[in-house]
Amino acid sequence: MSLDAKIPQGPLAEKWSKHKFNLKLVNPTNKRKYDIIVVGTGLAGASAAASLAELGYNVKAFCFQDSPRRAHSIAAQGGINAAKNYQNDGDSVYRLFYDTIKGGDYRAREANVHRLAEVSVNIIDQCVAQGVPFAREYGGLLDNRSFGGSQVSRTFYARGQTGQQLLLGAYSALNRQIHLGKVKMYTRTEMLDVVVVDGHAKGIVTRNLKTGAIETHSGHAVLLCTGGYGNVFYLSTNAIGSNVTAAWRAHKRGAYFANPCYTQIHPTCIPVTGDHQSKLTLMSESLRNDGRVWAPKTKEIAEKLRKKEITAAQVKEDERDYFLERKYPSFGNLVPRDVASRNAKDMTDEGRGVGASGLAVYLDFADAITRMGEDTVRAKYGNLFDMYYQITDENPYKQPMRIYPAVHYTMGGLWVDYNLSTNIPGLYALGECNFSDHGANRLGASALMQGLSDGYFVIPYTLGDYLAGIGMKPVDTNHPAFAETKKQTTEYVNKLLALKGTKTVVEYHRELGHIMWEYCGMARTEEGLTKAKAMIQELKADFWKNALVVGENDEMNLALERAGRVADFIELGELMVTDALMRRESCGGHFRLESQTEEGEALRDDENFAFVAAWEFKGENQPEELHKEELVYENVKLTQRSYK
């Protein structure tokens, strides 16, 4: 089956403006008669809820945290892209579009990416108006810095706290609407299922995380803004609570899941220190503006460093391999994340890694401190340096940081068309929850851009078109579909609580993460993926036989929460492996060892795999059905990516 992405006709630069004019409108009086459900209150969810409420819709917003301020968007550090060209260095909407398409290794839709580049310029103005304290130059103008995959400075930032400041801006707009009564906020509430009535999404089933009450909520449309699924790997840079449950339950109700194997590995994370860790810590990509990545030139020097016989400062300049600068002279340390990650892994695979485990390379600021002075470096990156010091007890002003790749973001997600609608009418997916804009590898500083783009500037237009077509008839939770979905959810919760085996849910999660990282992580092979699929199937069977879930439903029960999320991760993990097996090519962050150039770079197969893989759930323990959305490139030429 071929999927219709509903991409507007006409020239690329005119598609969005013409599409907005052709969309049906809901007049201001009628907007008050529609109820909208927004699940998740990060950048995409908070901006969407605030914008829709401002327009006049009645919004019900849900998050499992105790406040929207806790959303994982707050953890974003380095910046947000926008094609403002304040630096007068050659940036433009088209260049941002091109860099994003190329960075995603030509596996994203042209129309979606160009729209993202277009509205990026409005996002900055919106956020400045909200009081977001972006960094400014001496003269008072907004400052920019560079990020990977780009040769211009287009990244706006607020020190290393950009996500936090942007979220507070969206949160203030959301709070205003809560105060006005246009948004009803449900905190400590987790979505467990979608209610589908006559083929349309009309509500959700939730569990109150404090009382255990399983409830239904109705709406004319449901917006999922629930983030990514990187925690399928157990160790990732995501908050521990980040999960796939909302998207996965929607998938099991019929929503297609697209490109699930596309995972982003971030190159600058603090390395793993032991099995005691439950998550990893990201060091912003912005550090690669001034920090130089290197590894020892020989195994012998690396061994001395690992044994602490010498320090990094004692390694002479001609004994250091600045491998990104050596291999990619045009982009140097600012190559895209997948390229930097793969090269760091190559260094450690050759035995040239540093640190006690040997699974790290250096990110060195000595040259920057000599060139600019410590005070300037501190002003730009001080909070990041402090965070590194607090975690490692090493002073990055005096010695290089140790970094290693880790799972950070997921480019896959629910399939959506140009209007951000899933294949279930009335069910939308925004931000990292959908697959639409980043192809096989997201450029740094583009996650915040997409979340706010979808929430502030896309969904307010496209949702109205759907609502105008279905009419204003109220949605009633007394419809049999609500009772039936609630009954199924209650039975599933009781099934989890009946697990009284001997292994904790965390043990299963850790085992799943090991399988995923080992066989479906930075490098993949046909043999390894086939082995992983069998291992995950065995793990799933064992989970439902030997897992231990303590406590009851009518209380705050963290074990029950974790069990449901891990059960979904196990099923998702199998689909990710299935998707990776099917895609017999390398592209972006998906690296098949069987498909690489002579120089070890990712080798695409455009003839056979220039499509979006959208998977349809066909029933428990049944193979999923693959649907394809062919990717057509009319404005860029498909070429082998080069950052040399």
Please give the positions annotated as active site: 337
Which of these, 265, 261, 335, lies nearest to 609 by C-alpha position? 261
- Residue 158 near residue 133 (C-beta atoms within 8 A): yes
CA distance 222 to 202: 7
Structure tokens at 578: 């299935």
Given a contact cutoff of 8 angstroms between Cβ atoms, the answer to whether 112 and 430 are in contact is no
With tokens 């069987």, the residue in question is 594
10 Å CB burial of residue 181 (0-12, 13-18, 19+) is: exposed
Task: Name the residue among 134, 220, 230 with its Cα closest to residue 447.
Answer: 230
Tokens 């049944």 found at: 622
- Asked if 341 and 265 touch (Cβ cutoff 8 Å), the reply is yes
CA–CA dist 362, 366 (Å, integer): 11
CA distances from 493 to 206, 280, 499, 561, 565 (A): 11, 30, 10, 9, 11
Given the structure tokens 């995603």, which residue do they identify? Answer: 104
Alpha-carbon distance 110 to 498, whole Å?
48
Other Cβ atoms within 10 Å of 472 Cβ, number:
13
What is the 3 state secondary structure string of 328-364? CCCCHHHCCHHHHHHHHHHHHHCCCCCCCCCCCEEEE
CB within 8 Å of 468: residues ≥ 6 apart = 24, 25, 26
Q: Which residue has the tokens 């793990």?
A: 539
Which helix (H) or strand (E) element contains residue 629?
strand 625-630
Tokens for 537?
């199937």
Contact 264, 589 (CB under 8 A): yes
How far apart are alpha carbons 395 and 375 in whole angstroms?
Answer: 15
From the centroid of its chain, how far is CA 636? 25
Q: And the tokens for 572?
A: 């998702």
Is residue 465 within a helix (H) or strand (E), and if so which, with residue range? helix 459-470
Secondary structure string (H, E, C) spanning 230-269 = HHHHCCCCCCCCCCCHHHHHHHHCCCCEECCCCEEEEEEE
Q: How far apart are CA 347 and CA 358, in angstroms?
A: 10
Question: 557's torsion region: left (phi>0), alpha (psi -120 to 50) or beta?
Answer: beta
What is the DSSP secondary-structure string of 7-23? PPPS-GGGHHHHHHHHS
Nearby residues of 138 by Cβ (< 8 Å), 6 or more positions away = none
Kindly provide the residue ranges of all beta strands, DSSP E only, lying in 137-182, ordered along the sequence.
155-156
Nearest Cα to 134, choosing from 72, 86, 81, 79?
Answer: 79
Burial of 267 (0-12, 13-18, 19+ CB in 10 A): buried
Q: How far apart are the first and last CA of the chain?
A: 39
Tokens at 512, concatenated: 């799943």
